[in-house]
Amino acid sequence: MLGHKPSLPLPPHRTPRSAVSANLATPAMSIFEYNGSAVVAMVGKNCFAIASDRRLGVQLQTVATDFQRVFKIHGKLYLGLSGLATDAQTLYQRLVFKHKLYQLREERDMKPETFASLVSALLYEKRFGPYFCQPIIAGLGEDNEPFICTMDCIGAKELAKDFVVSGTASESLYGACESMYKPNMEPEELFETISQALLSSVDRDCLSGWGGYVLVVTPTEVQERVLKGRMD
């Protein structure tokens, strides 16, 4: 009896948490659903638009509402990366590194088609241990002809003439873009269409949303806009 101190159980919030959250007791989630994302790109008349949501989550908890998923490679070439956020950032850093070396050697910017092949090769190199990202590449090529393309996480390119989608909200995005898209839209109309498609699709996906970020690129200017969306 003497010396026996009754010990209280540790309160739950004091137990140490590992970096990969301990509540993986949830049924097996896909690695793509760990962070949640939605990225879409559309072609207009001599212009293109690329848009993404702004949520960064850890499974069902939201950690940031201003996460950047669309990155600039050069003035007329943008890269959107959906999927695991850490792989998206690593992949972006490696690609910017390769593009900067290309710029130094060739003294010019990379064409969008060339950049798409570079991304595809980089992803296929990791065929048996891939980066968990689905890139969307959007740019203005020769004669300011818009170019968009997407790939799966091992680099299978899909060139499209109208729109490309990726992320956890991709199924809704396919439906929304399929109905709302029209060919040869001017930049103002293209902005409205891509914003409505993005906002309506992320409203049907728990893991993406919290606003939107849209870039419309024409041969003379780049319009960046932040959209107001549902914050749930």
Partner 1 sequence: MTGSMDLPAKGGFSFDLCRRNAMLEKKGLKVPGFRKTGTTIVGLVFQDGVVLGADTRATEGPIVADKNCEKIHYMAPNIYCCGAGTAADTEAVTDMVSSQLHLHRYATSRESRVVTALTLLKTHLFNYQGHVSAALVLGGVDVTGPHLHTVYPHGSTDTLPFATMGSGSLAAMSVFESKYKEGLTREEGIQLVAEAICAGIFNDLGSGSNVDVCVITKGKTEYLRNHQLPNPRTYASSKGYSFTKGHTEVLSTKIIPLKQKAEVAEGDAMEE
Closer of 221 and 232 to partner 1 (Cβ) = 221
| 133, 84 Cβ separation under 8 angstroms | yes
CA dist 48 and 162 (Å) reads: 10
User: What burial letters (b/e) apply to 71-93, b meaning 16+ CB within 10 Å?
Assistant: bebbebbbbbbbbbbebbbebbe
Residue among 62 and 90 whose Cβ is closer to partner 1: 90
Instruction: Give the shortest CB-212-to-partner 1 separation in angstroms.
Output: 9
Query: Minimum Å distance from CB 13 to partner 1?
Result: 22
Number of other CB atoms surrounding residue 141 within 10 Å: 14
Place of tokens 């960064």: 56
Looking at this protein, which amino acid is placed at residue 54? R
CA distance 189 to 148: 18
Cα 127 vs. chain centroid, distance in angstroms?
A: 20
| CB nearer partner 1, residue 1 or residue 111 | 111
Q: Which is nearer to partner 1, 2 or 28 (CB)?
A: 28
When the beta carbons of 10 and 104 are compared against partner 1, the nearer one is 104
Task: Report the phi/psi class of residue 154: left, alpha or beta, with left for phi > 0 and alpha for psi in -120 to 50.
Answer: alpha
User: Which amino acid, residue 171?
Assistant: E
Please, what is the minimum distance in Å from the beta carbon of residue 2 to partner 1? 45
Q: Which is nearer to partner 1, 79 or 176 (CB)?
A: 176
Which residues contact partner 1 by CB under 8 A? Answer: 20, 24, 26, 28-32, 34, 75-76, 83, 120, 123-132, 151-158, 160, 170-171, 174, 179-180, 182, 188-189, 191-193, 195-196, 199, 211, 219-228
In the complex, least distance from residue 15 CB atom to partner 1, rounded to whole angstroms: 18
Residue 206: CB minimum distance to partner 1, A: 17
Residues 6+ apart with CB under 8 A from 85: 35, 37, 56, 67
CB of 26 to partner 1, least distance (A): 8
